[in-house]
A and B are shown apart, each in its own frame.
Chain A
Amino acid sequence: MVDSSVVLYGQTIAYTLYVIVILLVMAWFSYQITRGGGKNIVKPALFYSFVGFLVVLGITLHIATHETIPWKPIDLNRDKIKADKVFDISIKDHRFRLPADTLRIKTGEIAHFRVTSDDLTYGFGLFRKDNSMVFQMQVVPGHMNDVMWEFVRPEVLTIRSTEYSGWKSDKMVLKDVVVIK
């Protein structure tokens, strides 16, 4: 099952390959424009093909992520999905208030995190022990901020604010408070 670490790994590979290709193309181009000879004409057909390629690339990216990243359709349809667990969390004075000391979830369950802020704009994110991110969202005061997530493997996660809310925001970390079994 795909989780965020798999997606991030895939993104790293894809973007790294792209960077290597574009660096090589620009190096080749920079060398070639200093040399004479050969054809100097650029056909309009090449230009139109490139524009078409960009259009297809841009649209394909979003379709591909919709079909391969599991949390994207869940997020778009979360008002129609019944969660297995609901956690109401509030934040005030740079402190999280959880419904229990530890939030316990089983693998395969869909959890619904409903987070509100009583003062500032914060963030809400879950992180693994190696500090990699599972997910995050913004927490805007005066609004319900909710995210639905299906956990696919057992792990212990840390909650931390993912948005700056003054220099105290660095301390907004609740270590190992989400347990996936």
Chain B
Amino acid sequence: MLYIRCPYCEEYRPEIEFRHAGEAHIVRPTNMAEISADEMEEFLFIRENKRGIIFERWRHIHGCGRFFNCVRDAVTDQIIMTYKSGEPKPSDAEIEKAILALKEEQA
């Protein structure tokens, strides 16, 4: 079970209260009517699905009901940090710092 910190409730809650909601930071094209079918396909269906650090959206559906973003390691499943929707994507340095903090906590 994952133990996820909801940035709105400001505390850790068990995974069962949350719902996964796909990849985060996907920008909706502003010129929907003009883009090609291929670009539309990319926007709707093509996801990074990479090995390593990923950004995803979660929803605290059985809690405050809010969507938020999360940085997770797809290899170890460890959640590195969570932050409110609308906040900028954390930089590599910030993620590095959060990983170090987690390691210290576990040591």
Q: Do A and B bind each other?
A: no
